[in-house]
Structure 1
Amino acid sequence: MNLKKESVEWIKALLYALVAATIVRLYIFETMLVPTGSMIPTIQIGDRLFVEKITYTVREPQIGEIVVFWSPFVDERASHMLRLFDKFMDLFSPSKFRGHVKYVKRLVGKGGDVLEIKDGKLYVNGEVPEVLKDRYYEPEGIFKYEDFYEWLYTASKLRKDKQAYRDFIYDIAKNYGRTAAVLVFSLIGEEGLSYGEAFLPGLLNYFDPSMVYYDEKTKSYYIPGMIYHEFYEEYYSKLDLKKYVGKTDDGTIRIRVPEGFYFLMGDNTKESLDCRYFGFVPKDHIIGWPILRIWPFERFGPIQKY
């Protein structure tokens, strides 16, 4: 009887521990694995970060701070990079973010801020913030093509209609150049590819083979990308983006961040998928800030905010 009673107590203790761990995971701390080099040299590929979730519930993140947030869209490509532990832990995430992944970037703009990139420097409300003076920013994505977010929306919505999708990509190439078309294609991906089929004949005949996956259900190959149109319709349908993105007299594209949104960019902007490419991040997507690097052990230590 004592053995049975002791076993019951152990089971109860384990259940209590599981409940406590779940509460901590949901409301106080969580971890994330960084699979890309978008924040080099601040954060390296393969770093596992300990993310504190309370601070940004009592105050807003400030310009220059490093922020962890949910990707605004389902990111098929990053999902393939997650390890088993991360996939399991994300089962405890809010249901609205199922299929989304965690991003870590630096906050460069809040609601009402006006952003411009000139000579590699990011101007916020006409000045380069002190915390960003030593950082170089590449004027790509929305800072190069003022209709870029709309292109992504249309491409994402058309992706399941292969002919219409490719026609749209070719229209971008015709009107804005091959580089713009290939960029949209690379971000949105493609479905229904056959073995050996050219991706975009005349524009992109070859693609990194490691980015092509096989779908057992459809018995076809595909290139993972963004499921972007669902996010766009939920958060941008009430915004007139033309009011927030426009050219100045000298041709520089100026961005005004809408209220209720943030603009975040990676430190390594040549290798960063950030707001230049997918748009403004809603405040409710913010998770917290990384306070500690817990892996690898040789780089164990606190993450500097600035």
Structure 2
Amino acid sequence: MRIELIDVPFDGFGRDGRQARAAAALRDAGLVGALAPHTVEDNGPLRLPAFETRRGPQTGLLNEPALLAMTEQLNERVAAAVSGGAFPVVVGGDCALLLGVVTALRDVVERPGLLFLDGHEDTMPLDVVEDGEAANCEIGLLLGVTGRLLTGPLAQRLPALETDGLAMLGQRDDQWRRRFNVGSVSDLGVWSRPLGRLRDDPAEAARAATTHLRAHTDRWWLHVDLDVLDPEVFPAQGLPDYPDEPDGLDLAQLTAITTEAIGAGGCVGLSAAIYDPEQDPDGSCAAATVDLVRATVRAHR
């Protein structure tokens, strides 16, 4: 398999470092070697403008210039890789990277799909998201259930995903969404297996999700938000200033899901996001992420 490794040096809050340093830290932890024996094409990181900590006029979200540049560059690189027969592995940043990835799939795949592993549904409307982080909104924008306030180039790319092209695993944000009176996308017909319904048999949940995707899509993308993990076993997630949301998968359960899913066939790319090296002083979370990517890629068929 020919892999294109794509680094995303993006932080959704416009902070210096944090998740923008994730890809570099994962490389230092052995990411490139973990992709062996596959051929790795490495064209370097995305080139993003200086980060901003204010909300932008087109999206109402933080760090808008870098967000728009990331979306544009990922759209181009992922579309070219998939069209050329490569398997993109996208690392770093946060879930907002899916705005570039999924729009790229939509451009080159007739019926694109997304297997979304995350502790949250990420469907906050732009006028509701209190912190201004795009990573709380991207699924709603991709589905078109939110985003009426968008203007500019991002608005022109959306929506990009049908409800039956999405399968969600691991969500545990019911209480948080209730605070803002935001319902679940499962009420719209999205296939979903929240944390409480997959913990006992993660591999079976992965098989059910991929069965759904293979019935409704031509090819699909696997996205892992590392906050699907329990913060007790993976503390380098999220924001150090926010209280951790308890519970989540352990590393063995997550690996069982990703390897079972990618082994089912039809997956054209992988992304892993929401790793903060500044919360990982001993590098153990970086090593765990590299191990997860290694096991997942080796299970691909």
TM-score relative to the length of structure 1? 0.27
Q: Give 1 or 2: higher helix fraction.
A: 2
Q: Give 1 or 2: higher strand fraction.
A: 1
Flag the structure with more relative contact order, 1 or 2, with Cα contacts below 8 A and sequence separation at least 6: 1
Greater radius of gyration (CA): 1
